[in-house]
Amino acid sequence: MRIVIAHNVARKALAWRDAITTRLPQSTVVTWPEALDDLADYAIGWHPPEELFQRECRLKAFFVAGAGVDQVLAMRSLDPRLPIIRLEDAGMGRQIAHYCLHQVLGWYARRDAYESQQQNRIWKPLPAATPAEWPIGIFGLGQLGQHVAQAFLSLGFPVHGYTRSPRPIEGLRSYVDPQGTEEALAAFLGATRVLILMAPLTMDTRDRFNATRLRLLQAGSYVINVARGELLVENDLIELLDSGHLCAASLDVFREEPLPADHPLWRHPGVRVTPHIAAVTLIPEAADQIVAKIQDFESGRPVSGVVGRRRGY
Ligand code: OXD
């Protein structure tokens, strides 16, 4: 079997090559643009170049080496029949849950207020919160969203989930909305104090969170974006933070990455910026999963995680 790795970070491409070679010692694994003696059977990649799909025209499948598939689906040279297979959790759910818990528990425990009191040597206990006052709203209940939902439920937070298809999770209040209606979204937002964006970037989710929809959140709400920057209209978020309707936001993803040095989000007092690290691909876990899927593919067994091209995830 011939496998080509096309990762935009050279060091990671080599790590992927080694991880796949160890697991499939009979295969020939190279990193792009190195050529094989014949066309490749499979490619594994992250932000691959357009030329990959022009040269490797006999791929049986392309495996995305990360959570989101939007950048691959946007490629012009992609054959519409080529199966695109995404990672299914592979250790990312745990990481994203930790990221979101860290942000919410900091707000909940009034971290900023106590930090400022410490700077001014003020000893003053503030009223303690209860989880019931902090309803969490998760927009997008795929595998990662479900992981985050379970993490908050286990700590006693009320959790609301907005989803296209039903996800039976005990204790979760779900807003199942196959048509993407404004009514269901408004009901979900109205019940939410911390909005966590976890949905993929598609035509339906792009720019979904503009000023009009963010205003539907309870006054004094919080926003976490660990999905894609394009779900959120950043200037509208800033406007609502400035007006006081929103208290704070933790953003791990941005419309432009790296976030430009002069972008107002860097300096906004209500915003915490992290450089797209809420979940990183853990190569050993991801390689185990991809190799198992290649073996399923080769033996004609069904393979999970195949992206629906029209759906966009
Ligand atoms: C992503 C990733 O899809 O980092 O954002 O995997």
Q: Which pLDDT tens digit goes with each residue over 171-225?
A: 999 999 999 999 999 999 999 999 999 999 999 999 999 999 999 999 999 999 9
The best mutation among 9, 70, 276, 282 to test binding of ligand 1, ranked by most ligand atoms within 8 Å of the C-beta, falls on 276
Classify residue 149: in a domain, yes or no.
yes
pTM: 0.96
- Output the CA–CA distances (angstroms, integers) from residue 209 to 117, 155, 182, 204, 224, in the order listed: 34, 27, 12, 11, 12
Which domain covers residue 233, as residue numbers? 92-273
Same domain, residue pair 225 and 136? yes
Look at residue 221 and tell me if it is in a domain: yes
Indicate the number of domains in the chain: 2
**What CATH number is attached to the domain comprising 295?**
3.40.50.720
For the sheet with 246-251, list strands across it: 173-176, 159-163, 136-139, 194-197, 221-225, 246-251, 271-273
pLDDT at position 104 is: 98
Burial (0-12, 13-18, 19+ Cβ within 10 Å), 168: exposed
Q: How far is CA 181 from the centre of its chain?
A: 22
User: Is 308 within a domain?
Assistant: no
Token pair of 72 as six digits: 């691959």
Q: Please report whether residue 120 resides in a domain.
A: yes
Task: Using the mean position of ligand 1's atoms as its centre, give its distance from the Cα of residue 122 in Å.
Answer: 42
Residues 111-144: b if buried by 16+ CB within 10 A, e if exposed:
eeeeeeeeeeeeeeeeeeeebeebbbbbbbbbbb
**27 CA distance to ligand 1 centroid (A)?**
27
Distances, alpha carbon 278 to alpha carbons 152, 176, 302, in Å: 16, 26, 30
Q: How far is CA 307 from CA 82, 83, 168, in A?
A: 10, 7, 22
Active-site position among 86, 228, 301, 310: 228
The reply to whether 61 and 155 lie within a common domain is no
Ligand 1 pocket check for 68: Cβ under 6 Å? yes
Say whether both 104 and 83 belong to one domain.
Answer: no
For the question of residue 193 being annotated catalytic, the response is no
281 Cα nearest atom in ligand 1:
6
**Is the separation of the CB atoms in 87 and 286 below 8 Å?**
yes
In a domain, 304, yes or no: no
Best substitution site from 281, 282, 307 to test ligand 1's pocket, by max atoms within 8 Å of Cβ?
A: 281
> Which secondary structure element, helix H or strand E, spans residue 236, and what is its range?
helix 234-243
The verdict on whether 164 is a catalytic residue reads no
Residue 233 CA, ligand 1 centroid: distance in Å: 20
Same domain, 40 and 117: no
Spot the catalytic one: 47, 272, 276, 309. Answer: 276
pLDDT at 44: 98
67 CB within 6 A, ligand 1: yes
Same domain, 245 and 108: yes
- Pairwise CA distance, residues 180 & 167, whole Å: 16
Name the token pair of 146.
């479900």
Q: Is 305 inside any structural domain?
A: no
- Write down the pLDDT at residue 187: 98
Same domain, 119 and 262: yes
Domain annotation covers residue 291: yes
- Find the 125 Cα to ligand 1 centroid distance in Å: 40
Q: Are residues 231 and 100 in the same domain?
A: yes
Is residue 66 lining ligand 1, measured as CB closer than 6 Å? Answer: yes
| Cβ–Cβ under 8 Å, residues 262 and 287 | no
- What per-residue confidence (pLDDT) applies to 208? 98
**129 and 209 both lie in a single domain:** yes
- Pair (110, 234) in one structural domain: yes
Q: How far is the CA of 53 from the centre of ligand 1 (A)?
A: 21
Q: Are residues 180 and 131 in the same domain?
A: yes
DSSP letter at 170?
T
227 shares a domain with 79: no
8: in domain: yes
Please choose, from the candidates 140, 158, 175, 119, the residue with its C-alpha nearest in 3D space to the C-alpha of residue 67. Answer: 140
| Full pLDDT tens readout for the chain, 313 residues | 999 999 999 999 999 999 999 999 999 999 999 999 999 999 999 999 999 999 999 999 999 999 999 999 999 999 999 999 999 999 999 999 999 999 999 999 999 999 999 999 999 999 999 999 999 999 999 999 999 999 999 999 999 999 999 998 999 999 999 999 999 999 999 999 999 999 999 999 999 999 999 999 999 999 999 999 999 999 999 999 999 999 999 999 999 999 999 999 999 999 999 999 999 999 999 999 999 999 999 999 999 999 999 999 9
Q: 82 and 127: one domain?
A: no
